[in-house]
Amino acid sequence: MLDWFAERWNDFITWGLSLLLSVFDMLSDFVCLVFEVIFNAVVGLVQAMGDVFGSFSLLQYLSMLPDGMLNVMALVGANEASAIIVSAVFIRVTLQLIPFVRLGS
């Protein structure tokens, strides 16, 4: 009689462990689903932002400035400074898209 009880107890333990592992798999799949939905939304937003800013051209506004002002801007290094600022903003946006890397913001 005790052998039958021991077998049923071992079956119950096996069933409980299988249930626990199944619940863990379901939770990990749910977390992956949430990340996938978030990343798909971010990709959609980034693509929409690219479509919005695709028609914007900064060069047409710079060409309207007088030649003297363009010369002074080149002498003080506005070209290099604007390139540094644009690359810094691009790097920050890229880092914001990586999960768990918020860097204080």
Q: Which residue has the tokens 């506004």?
A: 61
What is the extent of the structural domain holding 2? 1-56
Tell me how many domains the chain contains: 2
Q: Decide if 47 contacts 39 (C-beta within 8 A).
A: no
| Pairwise CA distance, residues 40 & 74, whole Å | 42
Per-residue pLDDT of the chain (105 residues; tens, 9 = 90+): 788 889 999 999 999 999 999 999 999 999 999 999 998 988 888 887 776 666 677 777 778 888 888 888 889 988 888 888 988 888 888 877 777 766 555
Do 44 and 63 fall within a single domain?
no
Do 35 and 3 fall within a single domain?
yes
Do 89 and 104 fall within a single domain?
yes
**DSSP letters of 19-79?**
HHHHHHHHHHHHHHHHHHHHHHHHHHHHHHHHHHHTT--SHHHHTTS-HHHHHHHHHHTHH
Do 62 and 103 fall within a single domain?
yes
| CA-based nearest residue to 99, from 22, 52, 41 | 41
